[in-house]
């Protein structure tokens, strides 16, 4: 099998998007990475280097999930810049958060995240309308 698309959906409620992820979620993210790669290797015979694991921001639905796709499919699975954030980039960013941080919000909640959305996304019309009003 050369192309497939899998989602790892977390059991934890309250993690809606990348903005809700904190340092204490690192074990969960590492487990998703490790177990996702193992399942794909054992089931389809593909190595980690043949995969892309990423998170969308803005997501298509607000219950945290990780997309796992083959390289061949990554261009068709919205794994493009401006939408996809590689799990291998998310994890080290969270590792930089200080232990016992006094910040109420995690790094991703505080940082500016540039993103693009398609015309079919639920936020499209509201954002385009707001963008027009800002340029007048």
As a whole number of angstroms, the distance between CA 88 and CA 48 comes to 11
As a whole number of angstroms, the distance between CA 52 and CA 16 comes to 21
Catalytic residue among 25, 65, 67, 85: 65
pLDDT band for 113, please (50, 70, 90 cuts).
confident
Count structural domains, the chain: 1
In the predicted structure, residue 98 carries a pLDDT above the cut 80: yes
pLDDT for the residue numbered 83: 82
Q: Which two tokens stand for residue 28?
A: 């969960």
Please tell me the pTM assigned to this model: 0.81
Contact between residue 18 and residue 55 where contact means Cβ atoms under 8 Å apart: yes
Please spell the DSSP secondary structure of 3-53, one letter per residue.
--EEEEE-S-TT--SGGG--GGGHHHHHHHHHHHHHHHHHHH---GGGEEE
Host domain of residue 104: 5-135
Catalytic residue check, 25: no
pLDDT for the residue numbered 3: 79
In the predicted structure, residue 49 carries a pLDDT above the cut 80: yes
Say which CATH number the domain at 32 has. Answer: 3.30.428.10
């Amino acid at each position: 099998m050369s192309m497939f698309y899998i989602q790892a959906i977390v059991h934890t409620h309250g993690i809606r998007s990348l903005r809700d992820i904190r340092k204490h979620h690192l074990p969960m993210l590492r487990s998703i990475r490790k177990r996702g790669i193992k399942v794909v290797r054992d089931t389809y015979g593909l190595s980690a280097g043949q995969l892309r694991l990423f998170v969308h921001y803005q997501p298509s639905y607000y219950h945290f999930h990780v997309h796992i796709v083959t390289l061949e499919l990554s261009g068709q699975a919205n794994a493009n810049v401006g939408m996809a954030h590689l799990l291998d980039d998310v994890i080290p960013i969270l590792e930089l958060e200080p232990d016992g941080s006094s910040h109420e919000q995690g790094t991703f909640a505080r940082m500016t995240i540039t993103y693009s959305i398609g015309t079919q996304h639920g936020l499209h019309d509201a954002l385009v309308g707001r963008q027009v009003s800002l340029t007048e």
